Amino acid sequence: MEKKILNYENDEIRVNYDIKRCIHAAECVKGLPNVFDPDKKPWINPDNASAKEIANVIERCPTGALHYEMKKSEQREKPSSKNRIKLNANGPVYFFGDLEVQDHEGNTVLKDTRFALCRCGSSDNKPACDNSHEKIEWKADANANKEKMPPIEDVEHDKLLIKLMKNGPAILDGNYTMESSELGEHTSDKGVALCRCGGSSTKPFCDGTHKEIGFEG
């Protein structure tokens, strides 16, 4: 997974922007359009709002493309109280919480509080989404078979590992609440395998199609 990070700062805050992880979800633009304006250069101007306001909006970025560093306060982004997985129709899987992405050898690819996992299989920046689902007009609903995820009671915050199998699915290790407009909310700790090739007939879960189509990633 590639990174290309640009910095925008003033005396109170440094905004870090990873171009490679941005898919233009536009939460920043909607939250503070006077700070985040794609029609201007530079497109981020931290002088147009307080550092606290900017930090709060950055924490809404679902891909983790935006992060911040406070220079004059102790405010730091904390993982959400529970690990959340949000399914998006025709798009990526968003993760929020105490996250660690590992490759098939157990090496850490990413530690973050927000991440967008490609599930169409076509991203050039796997495992991260790069909006390729729009280019190929990939389609998938935002539902999931609850029977594959035995329910548990709400649990305290814990790390969620996202283990990337070589040329295969992403295996979850930890507790999480999966949610979508169609699914509602469902909390489990079942180590399910999420499809990354885009071809599974049981999305968002893997059904082995990656082997048939020669998925690489």
Sign of CA dihedral 26, 27, 31, 35: negative
Contact 100, 110 (CB under 8 A): yes
For residue range 128-167, what is the model confidence (pLDDT) as tens digits? 999 999 999 999 999 999 888 888 876 666 899 999 999 9
Return the pLDDT at 42.
Answer: 96
Read off the pLDDT of residues 176-204 as tens digits, 9 standing for 90 and up.
Answer: 999 988 888 999 998 999 999 999 999 99
Conformational region of residue 106, where left means phi above 0, alpha means psi within -120 to 50, and beta covers everything else: left
In the chain, where are the structural domains located?
Answer: 5-70, 84-213
**CATH assignment of 5-70, given 3.30.70.20, 3.40.640.10, 3.40.50.1980, 3.30.1490.480?**
3.30.70.20
Average pLDDT of the residues of the chain: 95
Which of 67-81, 182-196, 198-212 reaches the highest mean pLDDT?
198-212
- pTM of the model as a whole: 0.94
